[in-house]
Homo-oligomer: A and B are copies of this chain.
Amino acid sequence: MTETTAPREVGVTELVLRDAHQSLMATRMALEDMVDACTDIDAAGYWSVECWGGATYDACIRFLNEDPWERLRTFRELMPNSRLQMLLRGQNLLGYRHYEDGVVNRFVEKSAENGMDVYRVFDALNDVRNVKEAIAAVRRVDKHAQGTICYTESPLHTVEGYVELARDLMELGCDSLCIKDMAALLKPQPAYDIVKAIKDDLGEDVRIHVHCHATTGVTLVSLMKAIEAGADVVDTSISSISLGPGHNPTESLVEMLRGTPYTTNLDDSRLLKIKDHFAQVRPRYSQFMSAITGVETEIFKSQIPGGMISNMESQLRQQGAGDRLREVLLEVPRVREVAGFPPLVTPSSQIVGTQAVFNVLMGPYKTLTAEFADLMLGYYGETIGERDPEIVEAARVQSGKEPIDVRPADLIPPEWDRLSIEASALEGFDGTDEDVLTYAMFPGVAPGFFVERPQGPKNVGKDPAELATDELSKQSGGPVKGPINYSVTMNGKSHSVTVERA
Contacts and interface: CB of A to CB of B under 8 A. Distances in A.
Interface in A225-253: 239-240, 242-243, 248-249, 251-252
Contacts of A96: none
A296 to B, nearest CB: 8
A485 interface: yes
A249 B297 contact: yes
Given A217-B249, A258-B187, A502-B485, A297 B239 contact: yes
A252 to B, nearest CB: 3
B488 A501 contact: no
Interface stretch (A124-132, A395-403, A490-498): A490-498
Size category of the A interface is 35 or more
B502 A255 contact: no
Nearest to A262: B189
A34 interface: no
Q: Choose among A218, A476, A483 the residue with the greatest number of B CB atoms under 10 Å from its CB.
A: A218
A252 B187 CA distance: 10
A300 interface: yes
B189 A251 contact: no
A295 B252 contact: yes
Report the copy number of this chain in the oligomer. 2
Given A189-B260, A218-B220, A258-B189, A486 B472 contact: no
A268 B393 CA distance: 39
Contact of A476 (B189, B300, B476, B491): B476
B487 A218 contact: no
Contacts of A187: 255-256, 258-259
A484 B480 CA distance: 13
A252 B222 CA distance: 12
A490 B189 CA distance: 75
B220 A217 contact: yes
A249 B486 contact: no
Contacts of A297: 239, 249, 251-252, 254-255
A300 B248 CA distance: 17
Given A249-B295, A294-B249, A221 B256 contact: yes
A224 B502 contact: no
Contacts of A475: 468, 472
A421 interface: no
Contacts of A249: 217, 294-295, 297
Contact of A491 (B483, B496, B501): B496
A488 B498 contact: yes
A243 B217 CA distance: 9
Contacts of A502: 485-487, 496
Contacts of A498: 488-490
A190 interface: yes
Given A189-B259, A217-B248, 13 more contacts: A187-B256, A187-B259, A189-B258, A190-B259, A217-B239, A239-B294, A252-B295, A255-B300, A476-B480, A483-B489, A486-B501, A486-B502, A491-B495
13 contacts: A217-B239, A217-B249, A218-B220, A220-B220, A239-B295, A249-B294, A251-B295, A251-B297, A254-B297, A486-B499, A486-B500, A490-B497, A496-B502
Interface of A: 187-190, 193, 216-218, 220-221, 224, 239-240, 242-243, 248-249, 251-252, 254-256, 258-260, 272, 293-298, 300, 468, 472, 475-476, 480, 483-491, 495-502
